Structure 1
Amino acid sequence: MRSFILAAATAISTLPLLASAAVGDACSANGTPGVCLSTSTCTSGSGTTHTGFCPNDPADVKCCTKSCGTGGQCRLVSSCPSGNTLSGLCPGPSTIRCCLPAGGCTAPNVNAATISLIKQFEGFVASPAPDPIGLPTVGYGHLCQTTGCAEVPYSFPLTTTTASALLTSDLRTYQNCIARDIRDTVVLNANQYGALVSWAFNVGCGNTASSTLISRLNNGEAPNTVASEELPKWNKAGGQVLPGLVNRRAAEVTLFRTASSVTAHPPPC
């Protein structure tokens, strides 16, 4: 466990930026944002240490800075003004990510093969109706957030055109969480990325983020092997194995293992 040292804040005239900072807190070294980390953690992650900017911590804790991505700096996710971050590029815990300038890297849209797979398994529903486990959905798998799906900006019954537009909008959430949770050292082609977005769209970002599948990818295991072994496990809804989910996972594995020359992850900038 990290040891946090609490001390009364005292004004230090020579250090105008932070009077106290615990390990893992934000710091700033001569205007460059960073995080207070142990010297060994910082240097092992190719960061640069700066003495005197984390004054109330032990001597081996210093302000760690590191440039990353395209014009980015490693800092706490909560202090990234653009909200545009990349994982796997910074020393320290997962709360420290590469903070990119506004308008930097964004998760790409999935390819046509992915859209086709999702539409095949979600099916088209013109007006809100319960799905196989009783949840109200409309279009191509849009889960209603309000009574009667009032949040949908299109009139009912939907057409295939408006349902496709709704799907494109809905997928941004799942594209972003897959791009966010998989380290940027993991290279995925457009079909591999698309298969994972389809999976996230089906099971939710919370489940994918905590999954063994994502952990194994981030640990550097072979993507095709990981997908083939892990995706089929996600075949239940309401505690029951559903044939439709068995078939969907098999289709996602097939898409994942289909070669593509287009790189989709890490997100292009």
Structure 2
Amino acid sequence: MSRLVKRSMWGGALAATAAGILAVTNVGKDEGLRLKAYRDLVNVPTACFGETLGIKMGMTFTKAQCDELLLKRLDEFAGKVEHCVKKPMSDRTLVAFTSMAYNVGSGGFCGSTTVRLYNAGQFAEACRAMGYWNKAGGRVIPGLTARRARETAMCLEGLK
């Protein structure tokens, strides 16, 4: 269980933490809630708030199922972020990194320049390196550029 979920459970507001992550990182806005599986920009079957794990074309979901799936996956990705980021980080930085990892995958995130720089103590540079991940299918995607700008800003706020 990730630090974000543990904190929210202590406060009795697990759903509020997920809502906070959604509000700040705009996961739902970026991906949009899609109750029926679709193919994303690079032809990967996707559903709900951008979920790809186990998604097959023709699948359908309820909003409640999508919310539950997102919460579970955010906890999973936050745990992976905590595993590969070796330096202490604020909750804001953890949320920004979790949002990025949810979008690019934990392998992509953990192998990124962002993680390498953060673990080397170059915190601001690490946050700014998040902006490199704004492409899909080899082309710059305005929505990804906007998402990375929000994540970068949150990461930098977490350094203060």
Deviation at 1:144, TM superposition (A): 4.6
CA distance in 2, matches of 1:212, 1:127: 34
The answer as to 2:91 corresponding to 1:182 is no
Question: Where does structure 1 lack aligned partners over 5 or more consecutive residues?
Answer: 1-105, 151-155, 262-269
- Preserved contact between residue 113 and residue 191 of structure 1 (Cα < 8 Å): no
Partner Cα distance (1:119, 1:165) in 2: 13
State the match for 2:50 in structure 1.
Answer: 141
TM-score (norm 1): 0.50
Q: Is the 8 A contact 1:182 1:217 kept in 2?
A: yes
Q: Does 1:114 align with 2:114?
A: no
CA shift for structure 1 position 134: 2.0
How do 1:121-160 and structure 2 match up within 5 A? 121-148=30-57, 156-159=60-63
Please tell me the residue identity of whatever aligns with 1:132. Answer: L
Q: What does residue 140 of structure 2 align with?
A: 241
Q: For residue 143 of structure 1, give the secondary structure of its aligned residue in structure 2.
A: coil
Task: Summarize deviations over 1:36-75 as a string: whole Å, max 9, x none.
Answer: xxxxxxxxxxxxxxxxxxxxxxxxxxxxxxxxxxxxxxxx
Q: Give the residue type in structure 1 aligned to 2:118.
A: L
Q: 1:252 aligns with which of 112, 136, 151?
A: 151
Residue 113 of structure 1 deviates from its aligned partner by 3.4
SS in 1 for 2:3: coil
Aligned residue among 226, 230, 241 for 2:126 = 226
Q: Percent of aligned pairs with the same residue?
A: 25
SS for the counterpart of 1:115 is helix
* Deviation, structure 1 residue 260: 8.8
- The one of 67, 71, 86 equivalent to 1:164 is 67
C-alpha distance in 2 between matches for 1:260 and 1:219: 15
Larger radius of gyration between Structure 1 and Structure 2: 1
The structure carrying a bigger strand percent of its residues is 1
Unaligned runs of 5+ residues in structure 2 are 6-16
In 2, the alpha carbon distance for the partners of 1:206 and 1:149 equals: 27
- Larger RCO: 1 or 2 (CA < 8 Å, sep 6+): 2
Aligned-residue offset at 1:215 = 1.1
Contact 1:133 1:238 in 2 (8 A): yes
1:88-99 superposed matches below 5 A = none
| Bigger helix fraction | 2
Query: In the comparison of the two structures, how many residue pairs are matched?
Result: 146
TM-score (norm: length of structure 2)? 0.80
Root mean square deviation of aligned Cα:
2.2
Change in Cα spacing, 1:211 to 1:260, as seen in structure 2 (3 Å) is: closer
Q: Does 1:209 align with 2:110?
A: yes
**Matched residue of 1:188: which SS?**
coil
